[in-house]
């Protein structure tokens, strides 16, 4: 049984990219592992958030965790800011992270590009992410392909801290899904599907209505060809849609290609929409039930208490070793 930790930012409406790249794995992993899944609100504020939107999205992400199948009896579900040790270890690790390491992070470069001013939090975000993982001694971190570089830095920091202050942190491994590890944007297959993209047509939100889902998928960019073939380099748009189909229907890429042999894009997109609607409709119903009940607050309070116990233990051990005067 491995200790597993992961989180999603409440920085917008969760997308099919978050579901395929992260949540599907969370649900699978919870049955055989000791899992901690959090809503990383401290990460979300590394780019400006309206307070009302942050509040709503935080609760929405937590409810979607449950609606997508995370069972609070099997996994600990909590809000990052409810466990104060995250911010504290984040700071301790920031002091041990080199500027050069942070400057190499491609996600920082992408998110900072074209902005006049960027908060320092966006720059040091990978140290906070390392703290999230190391606090729980997590051995396995299910993330999408885009987080590979941050995870590598977390491993480096764990090793650096262990060398400097004695063996304490587990060095984590990533768990990256084989299919749909990077779901791409519907309007530009060179960019990943992102919930903070200003164009809602670029992503499938998990809470989009069936009509909106069908419209977005019918408008998804394809090429001028006609064949439903999987060639990520030559046909990135169609290949992305094939991957989405495979992940949502739980079949292989080859199965999808075989099924649509000799058929045009129109029919493929229509069936893709059916598959996505069939997947999301029950999730949306469960989501509405959860939002209407009072259970969520109780689950999150219990989760934070369980998580704090583990996190505080690690943090206190480290602080003692670093030479902090303990109360
Ligand atoms: N397009 C994607 N394909 C596969 N996996 C993805 N993930 C996100 N987008 C895709 C995975 O979802 C988890 C949570 O991500 P996050 O919300 O913490 O941050 P992110 O990776 O920056 O996701 P977004 O949607 O792009 O958010 P914004 O727009 O706010 O930056 C991670 O495991 C991630 O790999």
Domain CATH for 275: 1.10.240.10
Please say whether the dihedral angle defined by the alpha carbons of residues 182, 171, 36 and 91, taken in this order, is positive or negative. negative
Interstrand relation of 140-142 and 75-79 (parallel, antiparallel or unpaired): unpaired
pLDDT at 306: 98
Q: What is the mean pLDDT of residues 241-255?
A: 95
Query: Do both 264 and 119 map to the same domain?
Result: no
Nearest CA to ligand 1 atom 14: 8
Question: Which residue among the candidates 111, 216, 235, 269 is catalytic per the annotation?
Answer: 111
Asked whether residue 189 is domain-assigned, the answer is no
Q: Are residues 165 and 206 in the same domain?
A: no
Say if residue 67 is in the same domain as residue 204.
no
Distance, in Å, from the CA atom of 144 to the CA atom of 245, rounded to the nearest integer, reads 17
Examine residue 97 and state whether it is found in any structural domain, yes or no: yes
Nearest atom in ligand 1 to the alpha carbon of residue 142 is 33
In a domain? residue 192 = no
Q: What is the pTM of this model?
A: 0.93
Per-residue pLDDT of 12-37, as tens digits, reads: 999 999 999 889 989 999 999 999 99
Question: Exactly one of 195, 216, 235, 269 is catalytic; which is it?
Answer: 195
Instruction: Provide the pLDDT for residue 180.
Output: 57
Ligand 1 center to residue 91 CA distance, Å? 23
Neighbour count for residue 232 (Cβ, 10 Å)? 14
Distance 144 CA to ligand 1 centre (A): 7
- Reference 279, options 198, 217, 202; nearest CA is 217
Alpha-carbon torsion, ordered 20, 34, 293, 206, to 10 deg: -10
| Structural domains of the chain, count | 2
Distance 321 CA to ligand 1 centre (A): 34
Q: Give yes or no for residue 183 CB within 6 A of ligand 1.
A: yes
**Does 15 sit in the ligand 1 pocket, CB within 6 Å?**
yes
Phi, psi angle pair for 78, to nearest 5°: -155, 170
* Residue 87 domain-assigned (yes or no): yes
Q: What is the pLDDT of residues 152-187, one digit of tens each?
A: 999 999 999 999 999 999 999 998 766 557 899 999
How high is the pLDDT of residue 114? 87
Q: How far apart are CA 30 and CA 73, in angstroms?
A: 10
- 182 close to ligand 1 (CB < 6 Angstrom): yes
**Number of the ligand 1 atom closest to the C-alpha atom of 6:** 33
pLDDT range class, residue 212, cuts 50, 70, 90: very high
Say if 190 falls within a structural domain.
no
Specify whether 270 is catalytic: no
Q: Quick check: is 111 catalytic?
A: yes
Residues spanned by the domain of 234: 200-288
Q: Per-residue pLDDT averaged across 55-65, rounded?
A: 98
d(C-alpha 44, C-alpha 13), whole Å = 12
User: Atom 2 of ligand 1 has which residue's CA nearest to it?
Assistant: 17
Q: Which of 17, 41, 118, 244, when mutated, tests ligand 1's pocket best, judged by the most ligand atoms within 8 Å of its CB?
A: 17
């Amino acid at each position: 049984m491995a200790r597993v930790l992961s989180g999603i930012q409440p920085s917008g409406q969760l997308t099919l990219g978050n579901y395929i790249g992260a949540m599907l794995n969370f649900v699978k992993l919870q049955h055989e592992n000791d899992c901690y899944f959090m809503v990383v609100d401290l990460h979300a504020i590394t780019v400006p958030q309206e307070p009302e939107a942050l509040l709503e999205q935080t609760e929405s992400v937590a409810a979607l965790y449950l609606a997508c199948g995370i069972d609070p009896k099997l996994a600990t579900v909590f809000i990052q800011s409810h466990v104060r040790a995250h911010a504290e270890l984040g700071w301790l690790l920031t002091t041990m992270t080199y500027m050069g390491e942070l400057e190499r992070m491609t996600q920082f470069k992408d998110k900072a590009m074209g902005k006049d001013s960027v908060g320092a939090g966006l720059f040091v975000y990978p140290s906070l992410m390392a703290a999230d993982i190391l606090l729980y001694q997590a051995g396995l971190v299910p993330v999408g392909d885009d987080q590979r570089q941050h995870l590598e830095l977390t491993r480096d920091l764990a090793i650096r801290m262990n060398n400097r202050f004695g063996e304490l942190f587990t060095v984590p491994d990533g768990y990256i899904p084989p299919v749909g590890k990077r779901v791409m944007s519907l309007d530009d297959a060179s960019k990943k599907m992102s919930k903070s993209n200003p164009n809602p047509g670029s992503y499938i939100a998990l809470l989009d209505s069936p009509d909106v889902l069908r419209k977005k998928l019918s408008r998804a960019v394809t090429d001028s060809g006609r064949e439903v073939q999987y060639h990520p380099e030559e046909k990135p748009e169609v290949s992305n849609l094939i991957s989405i189909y495979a992940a949502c229907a739980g079949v292989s890429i080859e199965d999808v290609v075989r099924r649509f042999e000799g058929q045009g894009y129109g029919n493929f997109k229509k069936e893709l929409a059916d598959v996505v609607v069939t997947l999301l409709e029950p999730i949306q119903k469960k989501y509405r039930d959860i939002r209407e009940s009072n259970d969520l607050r109780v689950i999150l309070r219990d989760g934070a208490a369980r998580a704090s116990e583990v996190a505080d233990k690690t943090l206190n051990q480290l602080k003692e070793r670093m030479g902090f005067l303990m109360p």
